[in-house]
Structure 1
Amino acid sequence: MTQIHDIKHAQTERNEWGSSWQFLLTCIGYAVGLGNIWRFPALAYEHGGGAFLIPYLICSLLIGFPLLYLEMSIGQFCKAGPAVAYGWIRPAFQGIGWSMAMLSLLIGIYYNVIVAWTLIYLWTIITGNSNQFSSCTNQFNTIFAWTLIYLWTIITGNSNQFSSCTNQFNTIYCSSSLEDLRCANELKTFGAFYFNRTCNFGNDTIAKSLKDKTFSILSAVSPAEEFFERYVLEKTATLSEFGGLSLKMVISLGLAWLFTTLVLVKGVEVMGKIAWFTGTTPYIIIVILFIRGITLDGAKVGLDYYLLKPNLSVIWLAETWRAAATQVCYSLAIGMGGLISLASFNDFHQNCFKDAFLITLADASTSVLGGTAVFSTLGFMSNQLNISIDAVVQSGTGLAFIAYPEAMSRMPGWPWLWQFLFFLMILILGIASHFGLAEVMCTALYDQFPFLRKHKSLLVIFVCLSCYICGLVMCTRAGIFYFNLFDDYTASFSMMLLVLLELVLVAHIYGLSNYVIDLQIMMGPAKNWLTRIYGPTGICIQIIWRFIAPLLIIVVFIFALISQIKTNKRTYGKDKRLYIFPEWAIVFGWILSMISLIFIPSLIIINLIKFRRKGKNWRELFKLQTKWPSYKRNLNIKQNRTVKENIQGGEMITQM
C-alpha cells in the first residue's frame, strides 16, 4: 500500500476552505445557477414535460455525478487548477485545462450581463414602479447586470412597469388585459379597451378598426416585453445597429464585475463565508415561490403541461437525450474547470465523493422544484388571460424577464413582493455561479506562473476588468443579439469535446487502476462490500468512467456538432418581429465555439518547443511529470514491472 509520504504536491502555498461546508455550499452556488430556473423548465416543456425528467435524471446519474466527482477529485488530489493538472498527467493534454479556463471566461463575460439586467429590475421594483411590467404607459416602451437592473426595479417599487402600458417607453403596439380592465372601470362600461394611450368605448368602431389595422402590421406586445426590450435593453432593430452604450447597463454591469472582483481578491476565505448566504437563500426563496405558485388559480394548467401529463413517446427520441445530457453538463458546470479549481483548495482527505453526490442532488432538486414554481405561475397567467399555455411559455431570457414578471404582476395581494423575491433569487444564483467562472482563469494564471501569486490582487483586477470591457458590447443597444450569440455558441459541442478528452486522459491514458490508487490514498480503501461496489473507488464508478460515460459523451458530442452545423440560421423574436441574423454573425458564433479549443494544439507545440530546448525527446509529452503528486509511486511501479519482466525473460532464456 502506498504511503502518504509518497505523495508530493508541487503547490505548497495554497489556501484552504474554512470548513468542508463552505466548500460544499460554494460548489452548490457555482453549479446550481440560472440554467436551472429558465433553461430547464423550457427544455422540459419542449421535450415531453414530465417525461423529460426520466432522461434528465438518468443522465445526472450516469454523466453528471461521475464527471463531477472526477473533476473534483483531480483538483483535490493535485492541489492545482485545470491549466496545470492535466499537463502534469501528460503534457500533450495540458491544453484541455487551458481550454476549460477560456471556456469559463467566455461564459462569465455574458453570464454577468444577466446579473446586470436583474439589477435594473430590482431597482424598478424598489422605487415603486413595478406596475411598468403590466402597464402600457411607461416612458421607456416605444442576465448579472440584467439581474441587478431587474432587482433594483423591484426593490424601488416600480415592478408595476412590468404589466403597464402607460409608461413613456411604451409604443402603440403595447397591449394588456389589465389596461382594458382599468379602462372598463374608468369608463364604467363593459367592453372598453385600451389603445394608443387612450381608453376607448367598446362601440367605438373607428378606434377598434385602427387598432385592428395597427396590429395587423405588427403584432401586439405585452408591457413586460416592452419593459425588457425598450427600457432595459433599449434594443435596436438589427445586429449591425450598435446604437451606442446604454448608461444604466454600463453601470449595472460595472457593479456586477466590481462585486466579483472584490470577492476574488479576498480569496476562498471570503468566498466560503459568502457561501453560507448564497448557497442557502435561493432555496428558501424557491420554496416560497413554489408554495405560492401551486396555490394560485389555474396552477394545475401549468403543472399538467410540466409534470402531470407527460408525453412518454419523446423518451425514444435521440434529441431528447441530447438535450438532457447537455443540460446536465451545463447545469453542473462540467468541462468548465471551475470545480477543479474550487476543489484544489480542499483538505487532501476531504470526501469529495459525498460532496459530488450532494451537489448533483441539489442541482436536480432545484431544477424540478424551480420548474414547478415557474410553470404553476405560468398556468395561473394562462388562466387569467384565458389563452393556451403555449402562448405563455417562452424560453431563455423571455421566460425569466418577460413571461414570469408579467405573470407575477397579476398575482393578488402583493405582486411586487413575489417579483422582488424572484429577481433576488436570480441575482444570488447569478453572483454565486459567476464567482466560480471568473476564478478558473485567475487560478490558471497563477498556477502556470507562480510569481503572479505575489500580485494576486492585480491579476484578479486585470482579468475582471478585461472581461468587463469585452462585455460592453452587450451593453450597446444591439447587446441582446450578441448575448444570444454567446449563449448559443460558447458552450456547445466544445464543452462535450473537453469532457471526452478528460475522460480518455484519466481513465485510459493515465490508467484507471493508477487513478483508483490515487483516490484510495486520499479517501482510504473500501471498507465493506457496499463501498467496494458503490463507493468512491467502487466497481460502479470505474465501469462508468471507463465505458459508459465516454460512450454517452461521444454520442452527445456527435449530435451536438451535427445540430450546430444544421442550424445555419439564428433568429430573434417571432412572427412579424422575427429577425434573422446575418451570415457573418454565424461565422462569429463558430469562432466563439472554436476559440477555447485553440489551446489544445497550441499547448502541444509550446510544450514540444520547451522540451526541445531542455534537450528532452518529444516522447516526454506523453509521460507522467514529476509534479504529479503520485509520480514517485508510479515510477516505482514501472521500475518493479520492468525488473519483473527482465527476470521472467531471463528464466525463459535459462530454460531454453
Structure 2
Amino acid sequence: EAMTHFPASPFWSVMFFFMLINLGLGSMIGTMTGITTPILDAFKVRKEILCVVCCVIAFLLGLLFVQRSGNYFVTMFDDYSAGLPLTVVVILENISVAWIYGTKRFMQDLEDMLGFRPYAFYFYMWKYVSPAILVVLIAATVIEMAVSPAGYNAWVEAEGSERFHSYPPWALAMAYALIVVAMLPLPIIFIVRHFNLISDGSNKLSVSYRKGMMKDISNLEEQDEQRFILNKNPSEAPSPMPPHRAYLGPGGTQEMTNTNYGTSTKTGYQNIGSPESEL
C-alpha cells in the first residue's frame, strides 16, 4: 500500500519484488551450498547434475507452500522444524567443541590458524556462558510447546476475523515428524561412527581436489633422502613432513659418527654405514 503513494509507484513496486527475489536467491545459494558441499566431498559426482537435482527437489517441495493453504504449512514448519531441533543441534555442537574436544585445544588451533590467541573472554563464553544460555533456551522452548496447544490461526470469512484452530491428527503427526527428522542424523551418525558400521574415510582426504590444482608433495621427503644418499642436491621445496619422521625405519642403538649417516637412538633413525661425507 505504501508503494502506491510513491511517485512512479509501478517502478518502485517492481523494484520491491525484485529485491525480494534477490533475497530469496541469496538465501537459497547458502542453503544449497550447505547441501551440495558435503555430498561433493564424499562422493564423485558432477556438481552441475547434483545442483540441478537438489533444485528440482526443492522446487517440488516448495509447491506445498504456494497453494491456498500454504501459509499454514509455513507456520507449521517454522514452529516445529526450526525451533527445538536447531537449538538441540547448536548446544550439542557447543558441548562437543568446548567440553569434549576441549576449549584450550580449540583456542590453540585458532592461534595456529590466525597467528594470535583469542582473548580469555571467549574461553569462558564458549565453555560456561553459551551452554548455560542454550540449556535455558531449550527448557523454555519445551515448556512453551507443552503449555501452548498445537494449532494455527485461520481466517473465518463469515466472521471477518481470525480464529484459533487445533491441528488435526495427521497434522500433529507431521509436526512431530519434522522434529524427529531434523534431529535424527545425530543419533544415527553417532551409532554408525561408534560401532564402525561404515568407514568414515579417515584414511583418505575428505576433499576431492581437481587434478593439477595441487602438487603431490607426499613423497618429497623420501626423494630428498634418496638424492642425498646418491650425492645429489635435494629439492628446493621445503619438506612438508616433520623432521622427526623415521624415513629409513627404526634403527639400532649405534650412535651417529662421521662414517655413518643417521641419527642417535633419541631420534629412532636407522644408522646406515657409508663412506665419510664430503659435505
- TM-score, normalising length: structure 1: 0.29
Aligned runs of 1:78-97 on 2, under 5 Å?
Answer: none
Please report how far the alpha carbon of residue 598 of structure 1 lies from its aligned counterpart in structure 2 after TM superposition: 0.7
Aligned runs of 1:441-460 on 2, under 5 Å?
Answer: 441-447=35-41, 449-452=42-45, 455-460=46-51
- Corresponding residue for residue 541 of structure 1: 122
- Corresponding residue for residue 587 of structure 1: 173
1:317-349 CA-partner distances (Å, limit 9, x unpaired): xxxxxxxxxxxxxxxxxxxxxxxxxxxxxxxxx
- Corresponding residue for residue 407 of structure 1: 2
For residues 149 and 61 of structure 2, the distance between their equivalents in structure 1, rounded to whole angstroms, comes to: 25
* Alignment partner of 1:430 is 2:24: yes
1:372-430 CA-partner distances (Å, limit 9, x unpaired): xxxxxxxxxxxxxxxxxxxxxxxxxxxxxxxxxx2333x25333344333322222222
Larger radius of gyration: 2
Q: How many residues align?
A: 202
CA pair 609-412 structure 1, distance change in 2 beyond 3 A = closer
The answer to whether the 8 Å contact 1:494/1:593 transfers is yes
For residues 465 and 412 of structure 1, the distance between their equivalents in structure 2, rounded to whole angstroms, comes to: 38
Please report how far the alpha carbon of residue 487 of structure 1 lies from its aligned counterpart in structure 2 after TM superposition: 2.2
* Alignment partner of 1:505 is 2:96: yes
1:280-329 CA-partner distances (Å, limit 9, x unpaired): xxxxxxxxxxxxxxxxxxxxxxxxxxxxxxxxxxxxxxxxxxxxxxxxxx
For residues 146 and 177 of structure 2, the distance between their equivalents in structure 1, rounded to whole angstroms, comes to: 13
For CA contacts below 8 A with separation 6 or more, give which structure has more relative contact order.
1
Give the SS at the match of 1:408: helix
For residues 429 and 475 of structure 1, the distance between their equivalents in structure 2, rounded to whole angstroms, comes to: 18
Give the SS at the match of 1:610: coil
CA pair 513-596 structure 1, distance change in 2 beyond 3 A = same
The answer to whether the 8 Å contact 1:568/1:586 transfers is no
Give the SS at the match of 2:133: helix
Please report how far the alpha carbon of residue 565 of structure 1 lies from its aligned counterpart in structure 2 after TM superposition: 2.7
The answer to whether the 8 Å contact 1:474/1:483 transfers is yes
Please report how far the alpha carbon of residue 628 of structure 1 lies from its aligned counterpart in structure 2 after TM superposition: 9.9
CA pair 558-579 structure 1, distance change in 2 beyond 3 A = closer
* Alignment partner of 1:566 is 2:157: no
For residues 609 and 414 of structure 1, the distance between their equivalents in structure 2, rounded to whole angstroms, comes to: 66
* Alignment partner of 1:468 is 2:84: no
- Corresponding residue for residue 190 of structure 2: 604
Aligned runs of 1:154-303 on 2, under 5 Å?
Answer: none
For residues 507 and 494 of structure 1, the distance between their equivalents in structure 2, rounded to whole angstroms, comes to: 20
Please report how far the alpha carbon of residue 518 of structure 1 lies from its aligned counterpart in structure 2 after TM superposition: 0.9
* 2:175 counterpart letter in structure 1: G
CA pair 544-627 structure 1, distance change in 2 beyond 3 A = farther
CA pair 518-626 structure 1, distance change in 2 beyond 3 A = farther
1:165-209 CA-partner distances (Å, limit 9, x unpaired): xxxxxxxxxxxxxxxxxxxxxxxxxxxxxxxxxxxxxxxxxxxxx
1:123-167 CA-partner distances (Å, limit 9, x unpaired): xxxxxxxxxxxxxxxxxxxxxxxxxxxxxxxxxxxxxxxxxxxxx
For residues 498 and 427 of structure 1, the distance between their equivalents in structure 2, rounded to whole angstroms, comes to: 30
Percentage of pairs with the same residue? 24
For residues 584 and 450 of structure 1, the distance between their equivalents in structure 2, rounded to whole angstroms, comes to: 37
CA pair 582-468 structure 1, distance change in 2 beyond 3 A = same
* 2:28 counterpart letter in structure 1: H
For residues 75 and 114 of structure 2, the distance between their equivalents in structure 1, rounded to whole angstroms, comes to: 43
For residues 147 and 33 of structure 2, the distance between their equivalents in structure 1, rounded to whole angstroms, comes to: 34
Aligned runs of 1:93-108 on 2, under 5 Å?
Answer: none
Please report the RMSD computed on the Cα atoms of aligned residues, expressed in angstroms: 2.8
CA pair 551-525 structure 1, distance change in 2 beyond 3 A = same
CA pair 627-519 structure 1, distance change in 2 beyond 3 A = farther
1:43-77 CA-partner distances (Å, limit 9, x unpaired): xxxxxxxxxxxxxxxxxxxxxxxxxxxxxxxxxxx
The answer to whether the 8 Å contact 1:489/1:593 transfers is yes
Give the SS at the match of 2:196: helix
CA pair 567-419 structure 1, distance change in 2 beyond 3 A = farther
- TM-score, normalising length: structure 2: 0.64
Give the SS at the match of 1:592: helix
For residues 2 and 169 of structure 2, the distance between their equivalents in structure 1, rounded to whole angstroms, comes to: 36
CA pair 609-463 structure 1, distance change in 2 beyond 3 A = farther
Please report how far the alpha carbon of residue 516 of structure 1 lies from its aligned counterpart in structure 2 after TM superposition: 0.9
- Corresponding residue for residue 639 of structure 1: none
For residues 628 and 501 of structure 1, the distance between their equivalents in structure 2, rounded to whole angstroms, comes to: 26
- Corresponding residue for residue 552 of structure 1: 133
The answer to whether the 8 Å contact 1:486/1:592 transfers is yes
Indicate which of 509, 523, 545 corresponds to 2:114. Answer: 523
The answer to whether the 8 Å contact 1:489/1:592 transfers is yes
For residues 179 and 124 of structure 2, the distance between their equivalents in structure 1, rounded to whole angstroms, comes to: 31
For residues 33 and 11 of structure 2, the distance between their equivalents in structure 1, rounded to whole angstroms, comes to: 33
For residues 7 and 50 of structure 2, the distance between their equivalents in structure 1, rounded to whole angstroms, comes to: 49
Please report how far the alpha carbon of residue 600 of structure 1 lies from its aligned counterpart in structure 2 after TM superposition: 1.0
The answer to whether the 8 Å contact 2:80/2:175 transfers is yes
* 2:3 counterpart letter in structure 1: M
For residues 628 and 539 of structure 1, the distance between their equivalents in structure 2, rounded to whole angstroms, comes to: 33
- Corresponding residue for residue 491 of structure 1: 82
For residues 513 and 628 of structure 1, the distance between their equivalents in structure 2, rounded to whole angstroms, comes to: 26
